[in-house]
Structure 1
Amino acid sequence: MREKKKTYEEVVKESPVTYELYANMIDDGNRYEISDGVLELMSPSPTTTHQMICYKMLFRLETSCENEFIIVPSPIDVILSNTEVRQPDIVMIHRSRISIISNRGVNGAPDLVVEITSVHSRKRDKVKKRTVYAKYGVPEYWIVDLSNFTLEQYTLDGDRYELIEVYAEDDTISSKTVPCASFSMNEIVQSLPVHPDMLE
């Protein structure tokens, strides 16, 4: 007999919340992550600026990197363990590791994750997710900060991230993990159809 799907209220009471419970929830239109066995409701819908920046970054990465990497935007489940499931804004997986991609999501650590942070998600992205992605062995982590249009580049050193560079304005992003990536934050911002300063 097929198990009845559960609501958010029913699942959140489980301890720990597993991927199986999460995957069999009733779809209520919200997005969730599992943080160390705890179901967390994600921030409100992304802002227009967030979505435009994400799209333009995705376009740049696909243009230069799609021969070497599978590039997937959110929403996509990155299943780091049965009790740790995240939804980064962009994930990149080298084509030599295509076996970690399945219909349900990415099973294990991608080569690169990108989080585009906002007022609502800054602490989660810069503290909690940074710790989690390092723990599960994601080689490189980018945090794009919309408050100043910078890109913080972290690479794995043992089980912790080291801040390698902060890219701003016309600095060209350079990555040993993703050597095909080459753009500046000014190129991204100036390519937007509506400049963020024009939005309320």
Structure 2
Amino acid sequence: MTKEKNQSQETESGTRAGDDNAEVRDQRLTYDDYAAIDDGLRYELADGRLELMSPGPSSIHQLVSFEMQRTIFETCHMDYIVFYSPIDLILSAHEVRQPDLLMIHRSRMDIIRMRGIEGAPDLVVEILSPSTLRRDKLDKLRTYARYGIPEYWVVEPKVGTLEQYVLQGERYELHNVYEEEEPVSSPTVLCISFTMKGIMDNIPSIRD
């Protein structure tokens, strides 16, 4: 077999392999695919794969979310827009998340669009539930860092703690863990001022 023929076959083989890889890449869903789904369920789009968000959040999850949104709004509404779920955070054509809370400085309102938020907000908050533990503490930790979100909070409603992660380079570092009466502050969102005790004291007792 001649060298030229060998090269020709290798080129054809390489082209076929490249086509296969391109086909695999093209099979990832996009935001348009995600937005076209109308089955009554809630999803996120993680690197082109649908992730089901059902069952719905628990009552304590919703109460904590509301209290945090209300409390943050009191001190930050002049400088920041505060959104709460459901809101599409469109980080790329293949990455669409629905954080529980997010904050955007009013100087960056250009990333707020009719269909959702297109770009990295200044701060994102996820409130844990048993069904989202791994997703929030591992998968989203990596995802939000990859897309350059400066600060990420993970709130554990059962014990009333807040884990604060701050972006250092391309990864998050655990900056602090807040509980009880320790004042929550932020190195990136300076208007933040509350305590987790203040949040949790406003949550009524919920029966199992």
Q: TM-score, normalised by structure 2?
A: 0.86
Mapping 1:87-166, distance limit 5 Å: 87-166=98-177
Task: Report what 1:65 is aligned to.
Answer: 76
Give the drift of 1:21: 0.7
Mapping 1:1-200, distance limit 5 Å: 15-25=27-37, 27-192=38-203, 194-195=204-205, 198-200=206-208
Give structure 2 stretches of 5+ with no counterpart. 1-25
CA distance in 1, matches of 2:139, 2:189: 24
SS in 1 for 2:90: strand
Work out the percentage of aligned pairs sharing the same amino acid.
51
CA distance in 1, matches of 2:207, 2:120: 36
Moved over 6 A (4+): none
* Residue-by-residue CA offset, 1:148-197 (whole Å, 9 max, x unaligned): 210000000011000000001111101021111111111001012x12xx
Instruction: Tell me the matched-pair count.
Output: 183
Q: TM-score, normalised by structure 1?
A: 0.89
Give the drift of 1:43: 3.5
Task: Report what 1:7 is aligned to.
Answer: none
CA distance in 1, matches of 2:63, 2:159: 15
By percentage of residues, which structure has more helix?
A: 2
Letter in 1 for 2:71: R
Letter in 1 for 2:65: C
Give structure 1 stretches of 5+ with no counterpart. 1-13
RMSD: 1.0
Q: Larger radius of gyration, structure 1 or 2?
A: 2
CA contact (8 A) 1:73 1:89 kept: yes
SS in 2 for 1:115: strand
SS in 2 for 1:45: coil
SS in 1 for 2:60: helix
Give the drift of 1:118: 1.1
